[in-house]
Amino acid sequence: MNSSSTLRRTSAEELAELQRDHGRALFGFLLGLTHGDAQRAEDLVQETLVRAWQHPEALETAHESMRPWLFTVGRRLAIDARRARLSRPQEVEAEALEHSPAPEDAVAGAVTAIDVRRAVRGLGPEHRDVLVEVYFRDRSVSEAARELGIPAGTVKSRTHYALRALRRGLPGYGRG
């Protein structure tokens, strides 16, 4: 065997020893930092051990235990991973997108508003007044009746016929 493979084996043995001695405690510590996400905690344990392998000088210290160094590296990796996740837009499942409402199209909304205003202006004054009170001023039938000085039944009737006229005057908007 050449010296490089001997060095690698020793390093692998030391790494295995680190895992045996500190892996469970490191995992528990990182599990807390990841709010119980075991997969993420395991990934961070592995990355921490990779860092130990990449920095053999850390293993050659006179410290009694490697645990503080491992915990510090693991904590920093957890913080970096969290920052990286927060800096990216959150991933959304394709299925969730299929069931979410489409965002409002401002142009389409403006065009619809213009079409509705035009259709309402085309109604007779009795029908237009009832729709303005009930739908645009959000008044109840009795409030609209009181405001317009007509019976509640008349408000209901005029509202019905006004909406029917609007449907005819707005082809392509719902039922015809």
Burial of 45 per CB tally in 10 Å (0-12, 13-18, 19+): buried
Residue 35 CA to residue 42 CA, distance in Å, equals 13
Cβ-proximal residues to 175 (8 Å cutoff; 6+ apart), any chain: 167
pLDDT of the residue at 88: 75
Dihedral of alpha carbons 90, 94, 100, 105, sign: positive
**What pLDDT is stored for residue 39 in this prediction?**
94
**pLDDT score recorded for residue 4:** 46
With contact defined as beta carbons under 8 Å apart, do 167 and 176 qualify? yes
The pLDDT value recorded for residue 8 is 44
Tokens of 21: 């001695």
Q: What is the pLDDT of residue 147?
A: 93
133 burial (CB, 10 Å; 0-12 / 13-18 / 19+) is buried
Closest to 81 (Cα-Cα) out of 131, 123, 45: 45
pLDDT, residue 100, reads 64
- 87/148 Cα distance (integer angstroms): 57
Strand, coil or helix: what is 57? Answer: helix
Query: Rounded to two decimals, what is the model's pTM?
Result: 0.46
| Residue-range domains of the chain with CATH | 3-90 (1.10.1740), 106-169 (1.10.10.10)
Encoding tokens for residue 71? 């915990």
| Side-chain-facing half-sphere of 57: CA atoms under 13 Å | 0
Would you write out the chain's pLDDT as a tens digit for each of its 176 residues? Answer: 444 444 444 467 878 888 899 999 999 999 999 999 999 999 999 999 988 888 877 777 777 788 898 999 999 999 998 888 888 776 667 676 666 666 666 777 787 788 888 888 889 999 999 988 988 899 999 999 999 999 999 999 999 998 888 888 787 765 54
- Runs of H (alpha helix) within the chain: 3-33, 38-54, 56-59, 67-87, 94-99, 106-121, 125-131, 141-148, 152-169
What pLDDT, on the 0 to 100 scale, is given for residue 5?
44
